[in-house]
Amino acid sequence: MATVHRLREVHIEPDGLGSSLSRLARLELELGLAEARAVIIQLAIAVAVVVTAAIAFVAALVVLVAAAFAPLFGAPWQHLVIAGGGVALISVTLIAWSVMRVRHLRWPHGTIHSIEETWRWLAAQLKSRLI
Task: Tell me what pLDDT residue 20 has.
Answer: 74
Q: Where are the domains of the chain?
A: 32-121
Look at the pTM and tell me if it is higher than 0.85: no
What pLDDT score does 121 carry? 79
The rounded distance, in Å, linking the Cα atoms of 15 and 39 is 34
Distance CA 131, CA 85 (A): 76
- Give me the pLDDT at residue 106, please: 83
pLDDT 10s per residue in the chain (131 long)?
A: 455 555 565 555 556 667 777 887 888 888 888 888 989 999 999 999 999 999 999 999 999 999 999 999 999 999 999 999 999 999 999 999 999 999 998 887 887 888 888 788 778 877 876 65
